[in-house]
A and B are shown apart, each in its own frame.
Chain A
Amino acid sequence: GQQLNQSPQSMFIQEGEDVSMNCTSSSIFNTWLWYKQDPGEGPVLLIALYKAGELTSNGRLTAQFGITRKDSFLNISASIPSDVGIYFCAGSMTTDSWGKLQFGAGTQVVVTP
């Protein structure tokens, strides 16, 4: 089950607005990943973060690895209809060298025209 707290659970936004979501953990992570899942499909990797404080962009998406290593943020700028989906954060703990990920519960994003 999830050990990450992801918020918000859902967002209803208008096309063109920016979207922000975050994940927090009580444990230190050495990797943060953000995935997007479309209906009927598997999660697709959007951004991977490997260093505390790292800020990485992928098109209109920007994600940051928190300085405390216990949180991460994902921003989507100027949302468009195809941004609809569920966004998951995932983290790998410092002591786990085998790449075992823990997942947040997801943020459902709905974009209205």
Chain B
Amino acid sequence: DAGVIQSPRHEVTEMGQEVTLRCKPISGHNSLFWYRQTMMRGLELLIYFNNNVPIDDSGMPEDRFSAKMPNASFSTLKIQPSEPRDSAVYFCASRSGPDTQYFGPGTRLTVL
């Protein structure tokens, strides 16, 4: 079975540009999570969805960040405009059983 799929794996962009990260959860999973990982702050939960509905977006840093889940097999995380401090690895995870989450390989974002 395919795991969580994320694209792109690497993204380098310039400050002010729009960035869109994509995620395909494991088929049949009904919860999807977006995380950000940095050396300073570790793994931070940004937002999560249950049955395509955003449940908690309290971790989203600011209005420049937005996330959507138009259907059960696809989600996007958008940053507009991007800033150098947004540089991090962004992970998507999906959930099957109680509390067990399966992570994708991540997108390494560098904002110059």
Query: B-contacting residues of A (Cβ < 8 Å)?
Result: 1-2, 30-31, 33, 35, 40-45, 48, 50, 88, 90, 92, 98-101, 103-106
Q: A45 near B101 (CB under 8 angstroms)?
A: yes
Q: A99 near B42 (CB under 8 angstroms)?
A: no
Contacts of A31 in B (CB 8 A): 98-99
Nearest first, the 10 closest Cβ-Cβ pairs linking A and B are A42-B103, A31-B99, A92-B99, A103-B43, A99-B99, A43-B103, A42-B106, A105-B42, A42-B105, A48-B100
- Could you show 11 A-B contacts with beta carbons less than 8 Å apart? A1-B44, A33-B100, A33-B101, A43-B91, A44-B103, A45-B102, A92-B99, A98-B50, A99-B99, A103-B42, A103-B43
Interface code B56-98, partner A: CB below 8 Å = 1, 0 otherwise? Answer: 1000000000000000000000000000000000010101011
Q: A98 near B101 (CB under 8 angstroms)?
A: no
B55 at the interface (CB under 8 A from A): yes
B45 at the interface (CB under 8 A from A): yes
Residues A101 and B105 in contact in the complex (CB < 8 Å), given A1-B41, A88-B43: no
